[in-house]
Amino acid sequence: MPELPEIVAYLRALEPRVVGRELERVRLASFSLLRTYDPPLEAAHGRTVTGLERLGKRIVLVLEGDLYLVVHLMVAGRLHWHEAAKTIPKKYGLAAFDFPAGTLLLTEAGTKRRASLHLVAGRTALDDLDPGGIEIDEATPEAFADALLAERHTLKRALTDARFISGIGGAFADEILHRAGLSPMQMNVNLTAEEVSRLFDATKDVLHEWVEIRVSETGDGFPEKVTAFHPQMAVHGKYGRPCPVCGSPVQRIVYSSRETNYCPGCQTGGRILADRSLSRLLKDDWPATLDELEGA
């Protein structure tokens, strides 16, 4: 799913294409995408985009007249820019945002439709869509510790809970925990002060580095290959491959349709975390729904 670095890359690419431009109209292929009715979607037509914002993993188009279009890509939603008017693809297309300079398409792979679009009026209504997590680049070590320890969870779950920490999903949680040398299944309440500090530094560093990677690989173009897997990642999606730090084969924990990758050499003292022995822990500590996981 697109996480903070991918959302930032989208925003950087959108800025020269849509800010200061008129949103001529929004075309919907999937009416279930739109989660609001007041104001009506037509109220956005003809409005100038005055800015762009990120709200957790959501993309916000700020429109004149104190209106806000909020796009949540969830797991499989993606954005595509076309220099001319574009028909919405029949199979995966959800919506098209038409501008004088081109069309922004919203698509979603798979058969389940989880992406969402909100049109709200006023900053208060926009704030109501914010899951509430802290922004790492603005957080103090103390604020990070408070957010990390707000509820008793495994570190993987604590990092990805959008109510407390903004913008992190499964992929970058794996990378952050590997950088910090901590097990994804360690309970947050058992961390030492030094481990919390190390995790804070790792979180800042990994997100900063990946924002730079995502933005630089896009250049002046538009992000078209947004995926949770990348050759430069240390452990995420690297099951069976050697850890770039210690050379141990990267391992995985699979629960339901989700996967956690880790290095036993760097993170668990050489121990392999068996799925069967973790099944009860995962059941109790995993979000009950995908919406809960995504902080929707």
Evaluate whether 41 touches 119 at the Cβ level (below 8 Å): yes
Check residue 33 and give its pLDDT. Answer: 96
For 29-66, write each residue's pLDDT tens digit. 988 999 999 999 999 999 999 999 999 999 999 999 99
Evaluate whether 106 touches 94 at the Cβ level (below 8 Å): yes
Point out which residues pair with 117 in neighbouring strands: 34, 71
- Residue 8 pLDDT > 70, yes or no? yes
Evaluate whether 177 touches 184 at the Cβ level (below 8 Å): yes
Task: Provide CATH 1.10.8.50 ranges for the chain.
Answer: 141-294
DSSP H or E run through 289: none
* Per CATH, domain 4-127 is 3.40.50.10490: no
Check residue 290 and give its pLDDT. Answer: 37
Of the listed ranges 155-159, 163-167, 229-233, the least confidently predicted one is: 229-233
- Residue 229 pLDDT > 50, yes or no? yes
For 114-152, write each residue's pLDDT tens digit. 999 999 999 999 999 999 999 999 999 999 999 999 999
Task: Provide CATH 3.20.190.10 ranges for the chain.
Answer: 4-127
Check residue 183 and give its pLDDT. Answer: 97
Token look-up 């570190």 returns 155
Amino acid identity, residue 108?
Answer: E
For 182-191, write each residue's pLDDT tens digit. 999 999 999 9
86 or 48, which is more confident: 48
Confidence of residue 169 (pLDDT cuts 50, 70, 90): very high
12 C-beta neighbours (distance < 10 Å), count: 16
Domain 141-294 fold is Helicase, Ruva Protein; domain 3 (1.10.8)
Alpha-carbon distance 180 to 220, whole Å? 33
User: What global pTM score does this model have?
Assistant: 0.91
